[in-house]
Amino acid sequence: MYGFGGLLNSGYFLWVFLPTVVISMIAQGMVSSAFSRWGKVRNSAGLTGEQVARRIMERASLQVGLEGTPGQRSDHFDPSRNVVRMSQEVATVPSVAAMAVVAHEFGHVQQYQQKSPLIALRSFLVPAMRFSPSVSYLLIVLGLLLNMMALAQLGILVYGIVVLFMLLTLPVEIDASMRGMRLLRETGLMQESEESGGARSVLTAAALTYVAAAVTSLLNLLYYISLVSASSNRRR
């Protein structure tokens, strides 16, 4: 994940690796804490995640398939198959956390069905994300090892696709959460202020994982720029 370029300088571990590990641990800790608390609180509608999904589909006219998926917190919307996949802890439990997770995924459904510009741009970058991390790392390392700064700079530009994708993910995920909360209110599934606050806490904690990913990509980009810049200065 951290790239071959990190092997070229021990400063990587101090300025990139350690900060991103700490940030990721904090984000995951907050997610675990929020799920642990609100996963035990029954939502006022008394509906499991799957039942919440069907209620939203019925009342908000959002038609998708529903499937199960293994693992914890592995819930997601697959736009290629138009399917919302739910983990067992979400699909079968009538908790505030389950309701919030399902609503978030249906926020993504609504983004695609309403052709949100943000989701369209992010989707456009998905194919490039399949190769840009590996290609960028390879170009940067080869450029530095072979003293070909143009090659390394090209690698940085390619890595910029990763950063752009991560930065676009933040507003996409925040918008999906906002849409999800609105869907819960409009369909009458969220009636008490306590569960509204709980659902918001779960979604806010989950959003922090995307913040951590964006920060990681930015720190990597800055580090690679510093490597190339330092190498260029030594050539002069």
Q: Is 105 a catalytic residue?
A: yes
Phi first, then psi, for residue 77 (nearest 5°) are: -105, 130
Is 227 in contact with 8 (CB distance < 8 Å)? yes
Which is the catalytic residue, given 50, 58, 67, 105? Answer: 105
Encoded amino acid at 212, one letter: A
* Strand 76-78 to 83-86 pairing: antiparallel
Handedness of CA 21, 210, 132, 105 (dihedral sign): positive
Q: What angle (nearest 5°) sits at the alpha carbon of residue 80, between those of residues 2 and 101?
A: 70
Cα–Cα distances in angstroms (integers) from residue 64 to residues 57, 91, 105, 109, 142, in the given order: 8, 15, 11, 8, 46
Residue length of the chain: 236
Residues annotated as catalytic are: 105
